[in-house]
Amino acid sequence: MTELKGALIGCGFFAVNQMHAWKDVDGAAIVAICDRDPERLKIVGDQFGIERRYSDAAALFADGGFDFVDIATTVQSHRGLVEMAAKHKIPAICQKPFAKSLGDAKAMVETCRNAGIPLMVHENFRWQTPIQAVKQALDSGAIGEPFWGRFSFRSGYDVFSGQPYLAEGERFIIEDLGIHTLDIARFILGDVTRLSARTKRVNPKIRGEDVATILLDHDNGATSIVDVSYATKSATEAFPETLVEIDGSQGTIRLSQGYRLEIHGPDGTTITDVSPKLLSWASRPWHNIQESVLAIQQHWTDRLRSGGETSTSGADNLKTFALVEAAYDSAATGRTVEIGALLR
């Protein structure tokens, strides 16, 4: 089996995880990297032994010699780089947030569809071991039909030191973190019909909102709450765990802090430790996210070979992205927003 060759664009803070994970992926390897910042290009190139280095994405695509591109830049450049990939018929992975607006995201999906290339959004949170375990428990029928859920991420962790741009944007927690939590809600309870949201800024040193509470109606009739905060000072810091509660017709699922999964149903109660693996290159508390990066990149590689659509394809991610736009709209107007109208 010949190994797929990849190129990575954007050698910043998070790309280091992606580069480590590519080393562990079966069937793919990174052969070229690109960053307009020469310092980042050198650091990542030297660390991972990559000889082919570019400061300009257009030059990278012009030279070619790779089967897919992994776009790990921040959102401003996503549309231009995905369009460049489509022009060169190169399958593309794009980091979240997918685009600056839902209109841009729709255009990117359309461009890739017309070019006949796979497009996956690097929406890795649903690939976390504990989240997969919740999904499996629900799908097993252990708690019957779900009618209520809560997806909660509450932390006081200083994300701004590693990602200073997060303090500068007009939008913060829904666009950066809530986007993952909303995706988990969709993954577990299905697509969403309408939502309402409220936001707050507690930390005076940042521009955007750092607290959001979102009420979702799912297509299957279930109601859920997505609540996210970077202003929560707890006795035991939970970063970066997403806690989940699901109530079903026959029982309950509780994913609580410390990766403890409790499933209660007609057959009794089971408690399982669903901690992520600490990969050789990972470090706590990020190991949960780091393991999911490997899982999503392996999934991409397997699907690129088999030809099937990825779990978080561009088309799938429009439905998560629409929830982000709807949440900001609802928080600004106080109204409930219908999701179907946004996706038409």
Ligand X SMILES: NC(=O)c1ccc[n+]([C@@H]2O[C@H](COP(=O)([O-])OP(=O)(O)OC[C@H]3O[C@@H](n4cnc5c(N)ncnc54)[C@H](O)[C@@H]3O)[C@@H](O)[C@H]2O)c1
What are the residues binding ligand X (CB under 6 A)? 9-15, 34-37, 40, 57, 72-75, 77, 95-96, 122, 124, 163, 176, 289
Give the residue with the Cβ less far from ligand X, 72 or 133: 72
Nearer to ligand X, 188 or 296 (CB): 296
Whether the Cβ atoms of residue 340 and residue 193 lie closer than 8 Å to each other: yes
Q: 158: helix, coil or strand?
A: coil
Residue 97 CB, nearest distance to ligand X (Å)? Answer: 6
CB 44, min distance to ligand X, A = 9
Please spell the DSSP secondary structure of 68-82, one letter per residue: EEEE-S-GGGHHHHH
Q: State the minimum distance, in angstroms, from the CB of residue 148 to ligand X.
A: 27
The answer to whether residues 257 and 273 touch, using CB atoms and an 8 Å cutoff, is no
Residue 13 or 259: the one with the smaller Cβ distance to ligand X is: 13
Token pair, residue 69, equals 């591109």
Structural tokens at position 14: 């998070």
**155 or 196: CB nearest ligand X:** 155
- What is the layout of strands, in order, in the sheet containing 4-9? 52-54, 28-34, 4-9, 68-71, 92-95, 119-122
Measured from each CB, the residue nearest to ligand X is 12
Alpha-carbon radius of gyration of the chain: 20
Closest approach, Cβ 266 to ligand X, in A, equals 37
Give the separation between CA 280 and CA 293, rounded to whole angstroms.
14
By beta-carbon proximity to ligand X, the closer residue of 69 and 188 is: 69
Tell me whether residue 11 or residue 115 sits nearer to ligand X (CB atom): 11
Closest CB 1 distance from ligand X, rounded Å? 28
The nearest distance, CB 337 to ligand X, in angstroms, is: 23
Closest distance of CB 78 from ligand X, Å: 7
Q: Crossing angle for the helix pair 179-189 and 129-139, nearest 10 degrees?
A: 20
Q: Is the Cβ of residue 21 or residue 138 nearer to ligand X in the bound state?
A: 21
Q: How far is the CB of 344 from ligand X (least distance, A)?
A: 27
Sequence-separated (6 or more) residues with CB below 8 Å from residue 20: 279, 281, 282, 290
Spatial contact of 190 and 197, defined as CB atoms under 8 Å apart: no
Closest CA to 195 of 210, 208, 209, 212: 212
> DSSP assignment, residue 250?
S
Position 233: which residue type? K
Residues 6 or more apart in contact with residue 39 via CB below 8 angstroms: none
Minimum CB–partner distance for residue 10 and ligand X (Å): 3
Which residue, 10 or 45, is less far from ligand X as judged by CB?
10
Our CB check for ligand X shows the closer of 3 and 56 to be 56
By DSSP bridging, strand 223-229 and strand 211-218 are: antiparallel
